[in-house]
Amino acid sequence: MNAPDRYERFVVPEGTKKVAYERDMKVMNAGAFTIQREDHTVGNVVRMQLHRDPNVLFAGYKLPHPLQYKIIVKVQTTSQSSPIQAYNLALSDLDKELEHLKRAFESEVAQRQTDYY
């Protein structure tokens, strides 16, 4: 009845940034990324990628509320890196990895198709 509209889950409202970064004042080299209109799908994969980075001391994410369509990713790094750097690195790595996955998949499909016909 008063459920939010479906599109609210993925359409970022005007005037809101897709990703906002806030440095944590209580902890060194730490900060929180608020990613609008995303959920566990992105949160989990980003966190796991961040965990692979040896410079990342802590990476975690949470959905603050099931009806607030955003996630908060918290990152803490060593002094050799910074949360933003680690975050960007993680994203670009993920991008490459997924691109690779896609290409491998496509070539495999193409291979199979030629075999089949």
Partner 1 sequence: MEYEPLGVLGEIKEKGFSAAGDSSPQLPAITALPFPVARHRSHGPHWGVFSPRSDEIVDLDEPDGPLEGGRDAARPLQRKSRDDSRWKEVAAAAAAAAQGKDAVPSQAQEIDAENRARISSMSSQEISDAHRELLERLGPEKIKMLQRRGMEKEKQRFGEKNPISPEDGDKSAKTSTSTATPKDAKMQIPVRANEQEKSVKVVAGVMTSAWTERVEAIKSMRFSLDGEVISSSNTDMQDDSDLSSVAQRDYLRAEGDPSALGYTIKEAALLSRSTVPAHRAAGVQLLGTIFSNAASGLQDGRNDYDWQAVWAYCLGPQPELTLTLRLALDDTNLTSVVSCAKALQAMLSSSQNDDFFNLCERSWPGGPLWWTAPVFRKRSNHEEDGYLGGGYWKYNVKSSELLLSQVNNNDNDNSDTTVADDATVATKDVAAGFIRMGVLPRIRYILEVEKLDAAVNAALLSTLVAFARHSPAAAKAVMECPRLINSVIQRFLLPEEDDDTPLVLSQASKSYCVHFAELGALQTATSELFEWSYRLTMFPRAAAADLSKDSAILQEALRLWKICIFHGIGISLFADFHPALSAWLSSASSGDPAIYNLAQESYSVLEVLARTLPVMVKGQQHTQASHTGWSWSIAVPMVKYGLSWLEESSQGSEAEVMALGSVLHFLATVCERVRPEGLPDLVLQVEQAFDRVQARLVSTLRQSSTVYAKLTLANFLHATARLASGLEKLGRETKQLDILLDIAKEKRMEMVNLGSLHGEEHCGCTARGGPAPGLGVGWSSRVPGGGFCSSKLLVARVYASGILRLLELEKGSSSISLKTKLNLTALLTEPSSLERALSRHILSEERWLLTLDDAVKRINQGKGLYDTTQFKGGREFLLQHFTKFWLQKKQPKQHDLKKKLETIKEEETEEEDEEKTANSTVLLREWKGTRLPLPCHWILSPLHSKSSDVTLAGLLLLLGLEEGGAASDIPIVRKVHALSTVFAAGDTFLEEPVSDALGSLQDIYFEEARGALDFQSGVDADYALFAEGLAQNFAAASYGDLRFGRQVAFYLRSGTDVSIHGAVWRCLAQAEVLSLLPPVEECGPGVYFDPPQRSIPLLDMFVSSWITGGLDRAFLRKALPFRLALHHVAHFVLNAGDDETLLLHRQKFARSISRASRRNRESKEMLRELLHYFPDKLEQSQRFLKEAGGGEV
Binding residues vs partner 1 (CB under 8 A): 24, 26-27, 30, 47-48, 51, 57-58, 60-62, 72, 74, 76
Shortest CB 102 distance to partner 1, Å: 25
Shortest CB 76 distance to partner 1, Å: 5
Backbone φ and ψ for 85, nearest 5 degrees, come out as -60, -45
Shortest CB 72 distance to partner 1, Å: 8
Q: Which is nearer to partner 1, 27 or 98 (CB)?
A: 27
Q: Which is nearer to partner 1, 8 or 24 (CB)?
A: 24
Shortest CB 32 distance to partner 1, Å: 8
Q: Which is nearer to partner 1, 30 or 89 (CB)?
A: 30
CA neighbor of 39 nearest in space, from 68, 76, 80: 68
Beta-carbon contacts of 67 under 8 Å, excluding residues fewer than 6 positions away, are: 4
